[in-house]
Structures are given as structure tokens and as C-alpha cells.
Amino acid sequence: MCLFHERDCDSVSDVDWNNIGFKARETDQMFVMKCNANGEWHRGQLEPYGVLKLSPSAGVLNYGQGLFEGLKTYRTEDGRLLLFRPEENANRMILGAQRMCMPAPSVHMFVDAVKQTVIANKRWVPPVGKGSLYLRPLLIGSGPVLGLSQSPEYTFLVYAAPVGNYFKEGPDPIHLKVEDMYSRAVHGGTGGVKTICNYAPVLKAQLAAKKEGFTDVLYLDAVERKYIEEVSSCNIFIVKGNVISTPEARGCILPGVTRKSVMDIAQGLGYKVEERKVHINEVIDADEAFCTGTAVVLAPVGSITYKDTRVSFPKQKVEQHERVASNLYKLLTNLQMGKVPDTRGWTMEV
């Protein structure tokens, strides 16, 4: 067992651990592994963090053939470094690669690459309670193509960056605007996998909403425009009494690892958890709402604005510790940070 202490962080002298935010930062090393046209992966290796050399006709640049994942490492109070369910991210990348006609590293390859990246950048893991080390695995078509086709070469890489809160609100509630013009995904498309081409299209609506003072955008289904789907980069839940509901993941919704974990935790607490179509009117009538994701963890929603109607949450005045989102956040983060025994086998020590 390797023990890493806060002194490991002291050598990173230019980082204000109290204000690290969520942004790209040049760390020490990244893991790189390549696959040939026959689907054979070559042995990967750690390299200094730096610029990638790509052909201008690389498949990822011309046709968007690429996937990414996101997961975190936390430093525990007794000096350990913990990953949270990395095999789930590996399996999701494998499913995404099938949809995008790409070879994918095995679960073992994926997890080993992530571990190597953590160890190589361990001094960048924030001190306890100051944040986490965000890991970004990427799978891209790096070989040259001109006509629309699969890439003759693929690159799998993992890099890392220390991060704090994703939203500018920090731990405070976020405010969402329902988008009723633009769509995030359609049935038969790629909304259910974490491909890179899903994310840039949300920027137009997101930037417009932010100019109006909102935190982010909540998307509706592309057909009837009355069922909620996702926020730009995270899943959403609503609470009504003892029932917690979230849109079903059937091609348009990304099956988030945090989403899955929160559903399991909630069921263990006795809540009835439903995956189904959720009508926008149900959102307006809900008691609470919250978002989940690796980056956002679990963020309470303070308000949702649909057309000219703004609904604030929670509907009833309750103490912070009585809110469903607050309790789920505490249970989830206590597991991720090693503050409670992991009876579910979700954490993995590096």
C-alpha cells in the first residue's frame, strides 16, 4: 500500500488549493497507447504532459471519431488515494467504441492506465477536502483519412488535472433554463455514449442561458419537446415525496456512473427510484431537483425556468440536513473520500 501525504502537494508551489476551480492545468505526465489497423494495442507508456502530434487528416479532426471519459481520485485522511468505480468508465468506453466503430482498451488496460497516470501525478492530488485529481481518458482516431471511413490508427491516452467545484456556484444551488428550441440528442443518435461530438453543439444554448444569468441548460426530448433529458454535461433527478425520478437511459441519455451510484444509494435508504419519461410539468411540481455527474458530483438545483415560469427548490422550507440532495451528497462523497467503510466495493486504492 502506498501512502501519500499533504507534503506531496507542497512541491506544487503555484497552486492555491483553496481556489483551484475546474480548468485545464499542465501536470507532470500522461499515459499514451496506440492501436494499429488490425485492432492490436501496443504497450502504452507514460510521457511528459505535452502537445500531441496529429496528421491534419486524422479521423478525430475530420470526422469526430473520438470518445472521452471522466473520473476522479481523492486523497483520504489516512493518506490513501482512491478511485471511484473506474471499471464502470472502462465498460462505458467499450460500449461507446462499439457505437463509434473504434477498438477500445480492455477494462484491465483502462484501469491500469488510469492508475499509472495517478501515480505519475500524485503530487497534484489536492489535500483532503480541497478537491480531487480529475482523470480524462481519451480514445481518438489518430490515423489519417480523407474519405469518410474508420481511422487506420487509434490513440488512447489519459491525462490529469487537479479540480475543485465544477459550477461557479460551488456547493450552492444551481439555476437551470429549459431549452425548447435546440436539442441535445435524438433516438438513434449518439446521445447515450460519451462521444466528443455530443458536447460542442450544446454550447450555443448554454452560452445564451449564461448571459441571462442561468448556470446551465436543461434539454427536452427532440420529438415531443415535453420530456426532460439531460443538462449540458450531467444527469438530472427530481424528488416528489418518497419517489426519486430520473429520465430513462435509452439512447438519448448518458448512463452516468454517478447517476447509477446515486440511484443505488437512494434505494438503500428506502426511496422508490424510477427511471422513466419525466414530463416537464412533473419538474415544475417536484419538491426538489438535483444534478449528478463525475465533474459536478451532486449539485442541488435552486430553480428551473420554463418559458415564463420560474420554479424554486426546495418547495418547502426545510433544514439543509433534511434535504434529499444534501443527504445523498454526503453519503456519496463520504464513500468517495474513504470516510466510511466501502461495503459496496466501489472504491479502488491506487
Report how far residue 275's alpha carbon sits from residue 198's, in angstroms, rounded to the nearest whole number: 22
The pLDDT of residue 322 is: 76
Average the pLDDT over 109-138 and give the result: 96
The pLDDT of residue 172 is: 87
The pLDDT of residue 13 is: 57
**Hey, is 305 helix, strand or coil?**
strand
Determine which of 169-173, 271-275, 296-300 has the lowest per-residue pLDDT on average.
Answer: 169-173
- The 10s digit of each residue's pLDDT in 145-193 is 999 999 999 999 999 999 998 887 777 899 999 998 999 999 899 999 9
pTM for this entry? 0.92
Report how far residue 159's alpha carbon sits from residue 28's, in angstroms, rounded to the nearest whole number: 9
The pLDDT of residue 316 is: 72
Single-letter amino acid, residue 272: K
- The 10s digit of each residue's pLDDT in 332-350 is 999 999 999 999 999 999 9
* Helix 324-336 / helix 257-268 crossing angle, nearest 10 deg: 110
Active site residues: 194
CB atoms within 10 A of CB 152: 15
Q: Are strands 272-276 and 243-247 parallel, antiparallel or unpaired?
A: parallel
The chain-wide mean pLDDT, for the chain, equals 92
Contact call for residues 337 and 127 (beta carbons, < 8 A): no
- The 10s digit of each residue's pLDDT in 65-101 is 999 999 999 999 999 999 999 999 999 999 999 999 9
Phi, psi (deg, nearest 5) at residue 145: -140, 155
The pLDDT of residue 99 is: 96
Report how far residue 94's alpha carbon sits from residue 104's, in angstroms, rounded to the nearest whole number: 5
Contact call for residues 125 and 118 (beta carbons, < 8 A): yes
Q: Is the pLDDT of residue 257 over 60?
A: yes
Share of the chain above pLDDT 90, in %: 85
Single-letter amino acid, residue 290: F
Contact call for residues 159 and 49 (beta carbons, < 8 A): yes
